[in-house]
């Protein structure tokens, strides 16, 4: 399937497992790519991988910390030097630094602030910089990455709250940027990456036990959902929060 032929997609966090899987799937769907990551080494490794798998795909790679506006401006300028427009924006950057689970009553203000910044600031900068062009051209697809814990979680209260904010801003942007730009959100469950090495094994097993499909998600599962939401197959979908969780529904 080449549903994105002729489109250009910007993917943040493209050097990580999820961002890399998304970039690869969008390339497979025919998109040209603008890839960024805070790690130059991870980014160059992903560009090499995509180049081998999809040699005809045009790729602009630019190392940037999307939490910093000056670096986002440099990223957008690098893309503009190569492509006439960015049609698709996938905001992957997010997560938690340090321990995966910290009780609210034991949480530092630094961790609280940092978690919100990591999960929201990149969306703030990139949508404002890229969204203007989408509005001017009357076309755009934006996908944000939330989490199944956005509905609330005892083990990750600050992460759940930050991802709830991602879901909320998705709805707000869908209304503001309509009717020509769609904005949707994916809420992944636990995805099989090296991050799970930091998760308590009993907690991991309890999650699997209540997952109807009885397995962890794969980065490719998220990538497939992104490919759908950025294609014309999803042209009548906006403001949606799509759980990719193996059957767990985000709810208190």
pLDDT digits 0-9 by tens, 171-204: 999 999 999 999 999 999 999 988 887 778 888 8
- Told to judge if 159 belongs to the known catalytic residues of this protein, a careful annotator would answer yes
**Residue 187: what are its φ and ψ, rounded to 5°?**
-115, 90
Q: What is the residue-averaged pLDDT of the chain?
A: 96
The active-site residue out of 83, 139, 155, 159 is: 159
Q: 62-66, 76-80, 162-166, 195-199: lowest mean pLDDT where?
A: 195-199
pTM reported for the whole predicted model: 0.96
pLDDT of residue 79: 98
In the numeric block, which tokens belong to residue 62? 């630019």
pLDDT tens digit string along 36-52?
999 999 999 999 999 99
59 touches 50 (CB < 8 A): yes
pLDDT tens digit string along 77-112?
999 999 999 999 999 999 999 888 899 999 999 999
Taking residue 64's Cβ as centre, other Cβ atoms within 10 Å add up to: 24
pLDDT at 1 over 90: no
The domains found in the chain, sorted by start residue, are 8-243 (3.40.50.720)
pLDDT tens digit string along 106-137?
999 999 999 999 999 999 999 999 999 999 99
């Amino acid at each position: 399937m080449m549903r994105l032929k002729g489109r250009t997609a910007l993917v943040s966090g493209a050097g990580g497992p999820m961002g890399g899987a998304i970039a690869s799937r969008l390339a497979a769907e025919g998109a040209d790519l603008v890839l960024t990551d805070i790690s130059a080494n991870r980014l160059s490794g992903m560009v090499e991988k995509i180049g081998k798998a999809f040699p005809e795909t045009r790729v602009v790679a630019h190392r940037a910390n999307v939490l910093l506006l000056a670096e986002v401006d440099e990223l957008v300028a690098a893309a503009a030097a190569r492509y006439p427009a960015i049609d698709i924006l996938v905001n992957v950057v997010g997560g938690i630094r340090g321990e995966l689970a910290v009780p609210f009553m034991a949480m530092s203000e630094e961790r609280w602030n940092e978690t919100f910044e990591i999960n929201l600031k990149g969306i703030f900068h990139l949508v404002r910089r890229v969204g203007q062009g989408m509005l001017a051209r009357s076309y755009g697809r934006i996908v944000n990455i939330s989490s199944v814990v956005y509905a609330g979680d005892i083990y990750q209260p600050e992460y759940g709250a930050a991802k709830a904010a991602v879901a909320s801003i998705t709805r707000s942007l869908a209304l503001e940027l309509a009717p020509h730009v769609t904005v949707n959100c994916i809420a992944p469950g636990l995805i099989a990456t090296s991050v799970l090495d930091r998760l308590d094994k009993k907690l991991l097993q309890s999650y699997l036990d209540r997952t109807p499909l009885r397995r962890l998600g794969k980065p490719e599962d998220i990538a497939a959902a992104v490919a759908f939401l950025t294609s014309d197959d999803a042209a009548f979908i906006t403001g949606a929060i799509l759980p990719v969780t193996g059957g767990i529904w985000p709810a208190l």
